[in-house]
Amino acid sequence: METSVFNRTHVMGAQISPSLYNLTIGLTLCWGFFVNWLMIVTIPVESLYAFDLRIFFIGYFLCCMAGSFILNRSENPLVSFFGYNMIVVPFGLVLNLVLSHYDSALVLEAMRVTGEITFVMMLLGSMYPAFFLGIGRALFFSLLITVIVEAVEVFIFHRSHPMMDWVVALIFSAYIGYDWARANAIPKTLDNAVDSAAALYLDIINLFLRILRILSRR
């Protein structure tokens, strides 16, 4: 099997129409955001702080890694959807912790801005797929360098630069267009739609968190 959904060139299972394929991606994304919202409004944030944060984040990373493994290895849409939820649920717990520090009006504004950027980048990814497909390597190294710089600044120099939030927001905005273009360049099956939605979900959530930090500094 291929190691990544976007490397798949063979067709496993029945192909579906482009409209149904994109609708499946959209519905899968909406499901993930709905689960996150449900977790935020029903799980008291105090109950999360009762856990040892080290154990909490170890469990978070292990669950996300297991979900990614299932997504990349499975070619059954139901199994892939299970893997998708293994990513969505731990992210929902982290979002619950993070959003508890922000005003609800600010969170709603960040959601609106994220939605607008997502729509525009998906539109551009559809209009100029060749461009976005050609910037994947540049995006990867840009994100890698940014993560390293941020880690050095935070853990060694104990600083946080506002400009880094803008850089990361721009990178993940571009990643939305990139992953959308990649999603529409592979065989259009239900399993590939679910797997593509998982990649876009991570892009959108990371973009949302950075936009929230940017808006909070006003």
Ranges of each domain in the chain: 15-216
Q: Which residues contact 32 (CB under 8 A, 6 or more apart)?
A: 84, 85, 88, 197, 201
Buried b (16+ CB within 10 A) or exposed e, 133-169: beebeebeebbeeeeeebeeeeeeeeeeeeebbebbb
Q: How far is CA 70 from CA 64, 76, 83, 137, in A?
A: 10, 10, 5, 24
pLDDT at residue number 153: 87
pLDDT at residue number 159: 80
Per-residue pLDDT of 17-63, as tens digits, reads 999 999 999 999 999 999 999 999 999 998 888 888 888 889 999 99
Q: Are 103 and 197 in contact (CB under 8 A)?
A: no
Q: Which residues contact 170 (CB under 8 A, 6 or more apart)?
A: none
pLDDT over 60 (residue 216): yes
- Calculate what percentage of the chain has a pLDDT beyond 90: 78
pLDDT over 70 (residue 7): no
Task: Identify residue 134 by its one-letter amino acid code.
Answer: G
Confidence of residue 10 (pLDDT cuts 50, 70, 90): low
C-alpha triplet 2, 28, 210: angle, nearest 5°:
90
Average pLDDT over residues 135-140: 95
pLDDT over 50 (residue 2): no
Nearest Cα residue to 71 out of 87, 57, 59: 87
What is the chain's mean pLDDT, rounded? 91
Q: Are 186 and 9 in contact (CB under 8 A)?
A: yes
Per-residue pLDDT of 82-100, as tens digits, reads 999 999 999 999 999 999 9
Average pLDDT over residues 178-197: 95
pLDDT at residue number 1: 38
Per-residue pLDDT of 152-162, as tens digits, reads 988 888 788 88
Q: How far is CA 19 from CA 8, 22, 122, 188, in A?
A: 20, 5, 14, 10
How far is 81 from 86, CA to CA, in rounded Å? 9
Strand, coil or helix: 15:
strand
Buried b (16+ CB within 10 A) or exposed e, 51-80: eeeeebeeebeebbeebbebbbebbebeeb
What's the full length of the chain, in residues? 218
pLDDT at residue number 197: 97
Identify the helix (H) or strand (E) that includes residue 31: helix 18-42
